Structure 1
Amino acid sequence: MGRKSTIHRLAPETKSYIEAMLATGAQTLDELIADLQERFPAEARAGGLPSRSALHRYGSKLDRRLAAIKASTEAARMISEHAGDSQDARSEALTALVQTELFEAILNLQEADDPDHDAGERVGMLSAAAKNIATLTRSSVNLKKFQAEVAEAARKKAFAEAAQQAAETAKQQGLSKTGVEALRAAILGAL
């Protein structure tokens, strides 16, 4: 494994500043380097500030992460706007989205030869992902159970309303009380 990026070795304050500046895109890389040299002169003198290429690599990774967060947020917003919530369809869609993202992240982690993560870190990240997947799977199972209960309750309600309507119509048409009860029992028996 390669060594850690110079950005990961910086003081947290410096790293946070770099991340904020890269995220806003307010400066070119050359402007950012000049700004860092002015803002953090002690680190600049010690040769601890990142190079232009290190900033570019880190900025590219940060851009991918921000794009993924933005896409997930947009997808969640669209799901929220377009999905009814009687069966918690939004949660189902979000669970599927998270499952997809976790699966892709695990594949990327397995395929990546990222010098920023040693083998121990990779194992720890996979372990954390596995724990989150287990939680997500339990959530998915509970969601399916909830959806089945909602569907069953809706089905029972529909049959009860149909039985009531049929009984009222049959009664108006002159069906005997025994006939109305038999009709109602036949409809409700379909449950």
Structure 2
Amino acid sequence: MGRKSSIDRLEPAVRTHIEKRLRERRLTLDELIEDLHEHFPSADKPSRSAIGRYKVSFDEMAKRLREQQAMASLLVEELGENPNDKAGALMVQSIQTLTTHAALGAQIDDETTIDDVRKLARAAKDVLQASKASREERAAIAREAREALLEEQKAALAAMPIKGGVTEDTKQAIREALGITA
């Protein structure tokens, strides 16, 4: 295993600043060094070659994360979910976390495989489907309760005698306000 990068030994604020600038991808190495001198005049600064090496590894890591995001989206689509809705987005996030874990685990040992991630993704889909079924069941119960209430109100209006100023026009206005048809 190689030695630790001099950038890893920098103050956290300096390292965070370097990573932010690398993510922005706007500055050359020389401009980044100048930017560091401007923002952190008294802090230790890495050499140009150290930043160059760090940029290569940083770009590689960003590439892997983009690939994992794409893989997670494909798995979600394969499972029949829309990666753009909330449940699909949650699933993408979960699968991305799992694939990241699998990728890191694969570097250390061979315990976690993509097949394991696929199985976990299917399990996550099952959980989301059960949740969706539960929401649909609650909505159906609410619809039935609403229909029963409307029927009760309809019967009460029909039984109401026409006295005390309640005319058929008034009853019709009440029906319309309550959403009672016929």
TM-score, with length taken from structure 2? 0.48
Higher relative contact order (CA 8 A, sep 6+): 1
TM-score, with length taken from structure 1? 0.46
